[in-house]
A and B are shown apart, each in its own frame.
Chain A
Amino acid sequence: MKKKERSASEKRDRLLGIVTASPAAILLCVFTVYPVIYLIYRSLFSGSLISTKKEFVGIDNYKEILFDETFHKVLMNTIIYTVLFVGLTMVLAIIIAVWLNGSRQKKLNNMVEACIFTPHVISMVSVSIVFLWLMEPDTGFFNMVLTSLGLDKFPFLSSPSTAMISLVLVMVWKSVGYYVLLVMAALQTVPVSIYEAAELDNTPKIRTFFKITLPMISPTILFTCVVASIASFRIFDAVNVMTQGGPVDSTNTLVYYIYAYAFRYGNPGVACAAGVVLLVLVCIMTYVQFGVSRNKVHYQ
């Protein structure tokens, strides 16, 4: 009798679980699982975006990008961009967050926080347009300042050798505030008494940072690294507005390549194949980041 009762309540619980989880599950299927499956499916076909005619081509689209030198360059650009962006952003975010966290000048702190966070809430297109103007080689503000100081003009976005770093700097400027906030939140969870114990142990400041602070906030650092890496693999709007992948493909990145194939060259099959490559790369990168950091990250 008891067994029957329990199984009835178990059934009710299971039903409740299904009912409450289903809206999220349905949304996930419609907007994530289905598009991924369709992406993979569509990467096996040729045909334009507007025509209903599709032809099964197997892995031809993959072959095309595999032998496309532009794709190689794009892949390399994306990796370079990601490494530079994530590296610079994280180092800056940690330095600024540690400084803000240690500073006792509340008013100054609030002002700095507001200043570095503001770019994060401005639209990427607006930021791109403003920086296009600031970095304009002849009449831009930056070069005006450089020449007024008696220095040489810097080509910024107009030269293949400096375009990528210019793009990275703009993106770091825009995003660093967000990561500073995340790191600061993590820093504030470190109990003051641990720092006091370190002080009593006569620990030099640098050693305190590397041996105590950094390990204590390592879960947040890993999280921000993963999020920043994924975001930088998907960089598109800044490239589209500021450089259109140029000059000479020096800032052409994976998502811009996908966009160009799908909407400029009218070849969604190849775009989808590149999309699948992006998906796989992001998965591998995230997996590697978690794997490499497994022994370095301290979860409490």
Chain B
Amino acid sequence: MGTIQLKNVKKQFDKDVVIENLNLDIEDGSFTVLVGPSGCGKSTTLRMITGLDDPTEGDIYIDGQKVNDVTPGKRDIAMVFQNYALYPTMTVRQNIAFGLENKKVPKEERDRRVKEICEIVGLTEYLDRKPSKLSGGQRQRVALARAMVKQPKVFLMDEPLSNLDAKLRAQMRVELIELHKKLGTTFVYVTHDQTEAMSMADTIVLMKDGYIVQQSSPRELYNNPNSVYAAQFIGTPQMNVLRDALPDGKMLGFRPEKLSFREMEAPHITLRVQVATKEMLGSEIIYSLNSKYGTLMAKTDYEIGGGAEADIYVPFSSMYLFGQDEKRIELDDTAREQIKSVFAE
């Protein structure tokens, strides 16, 4: 078991309120990713779960047990740090076994567990090396092994892949997903990278300024964002949002990959645009388009020359409507009619 609950949690550093009132439920065995821009409070939330930071107000529960007064070492959790935080003066073996020694695990069992974990993460050859003699990827594995060997209820990871190069990061992402499947333990992962969040999570907690904007599965977050912020945070290039097109401060959004240069039968709107820039990515092209309503992004396999004028088609089924407060509102028949009349002009 490894459920986590944060109830009415507030965190304040001196006079600076980082988190006002956070309520979060993390299910047992889930891979939950806390994602958001720098300073949104995701790392602070993680650190409060670990116990390295105390909440100013509110309660934290692990497995239904209040842990506010439990020291980090006794919360039955393990953490992988952004900079790995390996003990530089110890060998890989000592790094991994250190937590077990503190727990007074007998030497034989300790050796067996260290050996077992090292085989899983592929560190057996490096057991007697110091961290300074390892590559970034190997250090990352040591940090993982150190967390795994403790067999915790919860794994907490604070941007563990951000120090790796792009290729290794992609590889480690896959390995972490596999590891989660194998262990079945609760993973809480902090990142500012939406690709990491989308590819690894089964639940994404999108944060902004210390509160949760949306908590849902990656698919749900992509298909049904509840606000302009959520809509634009997920997806590259970000969702096009026409802020001045509709009356009453309403905003119209559609994803760059959903608009088309090809005429369509489904109910749609048409916009006249001019191609400003063109980025060839191989399988698809990203266009920046100038329109009456500002710059739009398009992601398509359709080829059109730079500077050319064209019509683009956006189906109603791929549209999102947001109110003046930037919250999502229903795209009902009245709204459709309104949009139709605006874009027919």
Contacts and interface: CB of A to CB of B under 8 A. Distances in A.
Interface of A: 191, 193-194, 196-204, 207, 211-212, 215-216, 218, 298, 300
B89 A203 contact: no
19 contacts: A191-B83, A193-B81, A193-B82, A193-B85, A196-B52, A197-B79, A197-B87, A198-B87, A198-B98, A200-B50, A200-B78, A200-B79, A201-B73, A201-B98, A211-B98, A212-B87, A215-B89, A216-B89, A218-B89
Contacts of A196: 52, 72, 79, 81, 85
Given A199-B52, A202-B102, A194 B87 contact: yes
A204 B71 CA distance: 11
Contacts of A193: 81-83, 85
Given A191-B83, A204-B102, A300-B132, A199 B88 contact: no
B107 interface: no
Contact of A202 (B52, B82, B99): B99
B167 interface: no
B234 interface: no
Interface in B73-107: 73-74, 77-79, 81-83, 85-90, 98-99, 102-103
A105 to B, nearest CB: 15
Query: Could you say which of A200, A202, A300 has the most chain B C-beta atoms within 10 Å of its C-beta?
Result: A200
B145 to A, nearest CB: 13
Contacts of A203: 73, 98, 102
Nearest to A201: B99
A203 to B, nearest CB: 5
Interface of B: 50, 52, 71-74, 77-79, 81-83, 85-90, 98-99, 102-103, 132, 146, 150
Nearest to B131: A300
Nearest to A212: B87
B73 A202 contact: yes
Contacts of A211: 87, 90, 98
B74 A191 contact: no
A193 to B, nearest CB: 4
A200 B73 contact: yes
Contact of A300 (B77, B85, B88): B88
Contacts of B103: 202
Given A194-B87, A300-B132, 17 more contacts: A193-B82, A193-B83, A194-B86, A196-B72, A197-B79, A197-B146, A198-B87, A199-B73, A200-B52, A200-B78, A200-B99, A201-B150, A203-B73, A203-B98, A211-B90, A298-B89, A300-B88
B52 to A, nearest CB: 5
A197 B81 contact: yes
Nearest to A190: B88
A194 B88 CA distance: 9
A212 B89 contact: yes
